[in-house]
Amino acid sequence: MFRAMATLWIALALSIGTASAQPVLVDTAIDVTTEIPPAPTHHLGREIAQTMHYTGAPWLVRESRQREEDCRLLLQALEIDAGQTVCDLGCGNGFYTLELARMVGPEGVVYAVDIQPEMLRMLAARAGDERLANIRPLVGTPIDPRLPEGEIDLVLCVDVYHEFSHPEQMLARIRRSLAPGGRLVLAEFRGEDPAVPIKPLHKMTKAQVRAELEPAGFALVREFDRLPWQHLLFFGAENGDSDAP
C-alpha cells in the first residue's frame, strides 16, 4: 500500500466558507524505498490486533464516546501546556487531534500521524473547517511515524499501541523523537477488567504494557486510574530526563 503512495504534498480542497482560510496539508512524503519487514503475528506472547480500517472512522467520533471513556478527563490528565509540541500517533480522523491543537495553542504544534491517508484526509477537512492551523498531518509507515528527532514533548497513543504491527521498530522511533523530559502516553482498554465491553484482542493489562515498553528503553513515570474503561500510562525514556524511580 505504501509503495503506491506518491511522495508529494497533497493540498486538500476544503469548502470552509472564507477565502482567507488556508487548506490543511497532508504530508505523504514517505521513503518508498524503505523495506517493510513482514509483520509478526505476536509480540512477547501477545497477539497483535489488526489496525482499524478507515471505513470504521465514524466509531471514533460516536456520540457515546465521551460518556463511555470520559475523553475530557483524559485530556486534562495529560497536563499539556500551551506552546508544546505533541503528537497524536494513530490519530485516525482527528477526534483527539483537534482538542490537542486547541490545548497547545497557536504557538504549539500537533503532529497527527496515521498509516492510512484516508483517515488523514478526514482529519484535515475537520481541521480546516475549524480553522486550526497548528496541525501537521503525516502519513507514517508501520515502522516509522516520521517524527522529528528530539522535539516531541508528548506522544499520545489512544487505543493504538496494541495495533502496532511492528512494535519494536515503532517504539525505537518514538523514543528518538522525544524531547528531554518528553513522555509517551498510552491509553489502553483494561485487560484485567472483564466488565470493559471491548474484545480481549483490543485490551491490555498494565503488566503487558510494562513488559513490552520497559525492554524498549521506557520507564513508567505516572499512572492515571480514573478513566471508566482505560489505563492511562505515562512513560519516559529510561536514559533520558526521567523522573522514574
> How do residues 164-215 score in pLDDT, each as one tens digit?
999 999 999 999 999 999 999 999 999 999 999 999 999 999 999 999 999 9
Given a contact cutoff of 8 angstroms between Cβ atoms, the answer to whether 223 and 236 are in contact is no
Domains and CATH numbers, the chain: 49-237 (3.40.50.150)
Residue ranges of the alpha helices (H) in 150-230? 167-177, 206-213
Helix, strand, coil proportions of the chain in percent (round to 5)?
A: 30, 25, 45
Q: How far apart, in whole angstroms, are the C-alpha atoms of residue 42 and residue 131? A: 41
- pLDDT of amino acid 240: 52
Q: State yes or no: pLDDT of 147 exceeds 80.
A: yes
43, containing H or E segment: strand 42-43
State the pTM of this model: 0.88
pLDDT in tens, 25-75: 999 999 989 999 999 999 999 999 999 999 999 989 899 999 999 999 999
Nearest to 141 by CA among 61, 39, 10, 11: 39
- pLDDT of amino acid 101: 98
The total number of residues written for the chain in this structure: 245
